[in-house]
Amino acid sequence: DHTSRIDKARGLLFGLALGDCLGAPFEGKEGVTDSDIVAAQNGTGALRHTDDTALALVLARHLAHRLGGRPRKVDGCIDADVLAREFAEAWQAEPWRGYGGGVTKSFGLIVAGTHWRNAIRAVFPDGSFGNGGAMRVAPVALVGAGVREVTELARRSAEVTHAHDDALHGAVCQAVAAHLAIQLDPAQPLSAGAFVETVRDAVPSTLWAKKFDIVAELAERDTDPAEASAALGNDVSAPGSVPLALLSFLRHPRRPDAAIRFAIRAGGDTDTVAAMAGALAGAHSGYAALPTPAVSRLEAAKQLHLYAEHLA
Ligand code: R7I
Ligand code: MG
Ligand code: MG
Ligand code: MG
């Protein structure tokens, strides 16, 4: 059965938000079990998201507005100056969503009138290597027509806050993985080796090549979350979290809830790794594969439905 484009678009956005919401309470916690996470998933009341979903929604809205009524042209999809202000305004409206220390300072400078290029270098001279560009990037995979377009959109969406090469590599890795997850039919078996090869080709870096070797190796065997985070990292840096998210997805490509639980049990930056893994697994298997009561409890469910329809 072919999973439709709209189902995959919904799966991508809701998978991202679900991973963020379920992962946030477990940030930095060790010894978390599947039943701890299932209990949170089966609870009642709204599921609150953090900065990861807040900024993914801003990016999705930006892409939807700029595509509206126009022919698909990658050049027009992102206006960096506008996008930087929209990100900064989202932070200003809700600064309590758990933003990183670096972006908090640069967003403060941007809302005060500093151009984003100067604001971000004022905080980290080489640019931030945090995972903030990668955590929010998945919506670009709904817009770019192929690996090249998706790569370009990923870089442009990330660089307004994250200029460091490793942060850009992280955004490209996550966006290209999301693109492939959409393209591949979930009814067919997924080759982890071939998947990682395609992502690797989009990320020219020896540091990342080593990470991809480990991801490919661990994806082929029955690795557990503790071994995965020991081998790949689970911190707020892009190279220390994006590969772990990719592995979490490859371990459970058709089970978004299981991919999210794997990411959370790996510890560290759980909201972000689970958000990235959830976006990939949701994009691959579609909205119908997500746990039903939990997705309807997502705080941003209405907006997520709206942008999925616009971007599909
Ligand atoms: O990348 P960013 O948006 O943070 C995202 C994380 C996710 O886990 C979210 O869920 C949220 O909790 O935060 O924010 P940045 O502030 O750009 O980067 C995150 C952190 O990485 C910074 O606060 C620094 O600790 C570290 N970092 C750096 N440290 C030294 N030098 C990033 N770049 C540098 C650097 O160049
Ligand atoms: Mg967060
Ligand atoms: Mg955090
Ligand atoms: Mg985080």
Question: For residue 67, is pLDDT > 90?
Answer: no
Query: Is the C-beta atom of 128 inside 6 A of ligand 1?
Result: yes
pLDDT per residue over 254-272, tens digit each?
A: 999 999 999 999 999 999 9
Q: Which ligand minimizes its atom distance to the CA of 107? A: 1
The reply to whether ipTM tops 0.95 is yes
**What are the distances in angstroms from CA 83 to CA 9, 76, 78, 107, 156?**
21, 12, 7, 12, 10
Query: Is the C-beta atom of 130 inside 6 A of ligand 1?
Result: yes
Percent of the chain residues past pLDDT 90, beyond the cut: 95
pLDDT of amino acid 256: 98
> Of 19-23, 70-74, 205-209, 257-261, which gets the smallest average pLDDT?
70-74
Centroid of ligand 4 to alpha carbon of 238 (angstroms): 11
| Alpha-helix residue ranges (DSSP H) falling in the chain | 5-23, 34-41, 51-67, 74-77, 80-93, 101-111, 116-123, 132-135, 147-158, 165-183, 192-201, 206-220, 225-232, 242-251, 256-265, 270-285, 292-296, 301-311
Which residues lie near ion ligand 4 (Cβ < 5 Å)?
A: 269, 271-272
Question: For residue 70, is pLDDT > 80?
Answer: no
Centroid of ligand 2 to alpha carbon of 164 (angstroms): 19
**Ligand 1 atom having least distance to the Cα of 236:** 8
Average pLDDT over residues 148-177: 98
- Please provide the average confidence, as pLDDT, over all residues in the chain: 96
Question: For residue 1, is pLDDT > 70?
Answer: no
Question: For residue 49, is pLDDT > 70?
Answer: yes
Closest CA to ligand 1's atom 35: 128
Question: For residue 73, is pLDDT > 90?
Answer: no
Centroid of ligand 3 to alpha carbon of 259 (angstroms): 20
Query: Is the C-beta atom of 236 inside 6 A of ligand 1?
Result: yes
pLDDT category at 4 given cuts 50, 70, 90 is very high
**Ligand 1 atom having least distance to the Cα of 125:** 36
pLDDT per residue over 192-247, tens digit each?
A: 999 999 999 999 999 999 999 999 999 999 899 999 999 999 999 999 999 999 99
Which residues lie near ion ligand 2 (Cβ < 5 Å)?
A: 50-52, 98, 271
Average pLDDT over residues 43-67: 97
Centroid of ligand 3 to alpha carbon of 52 (angstroms): 9
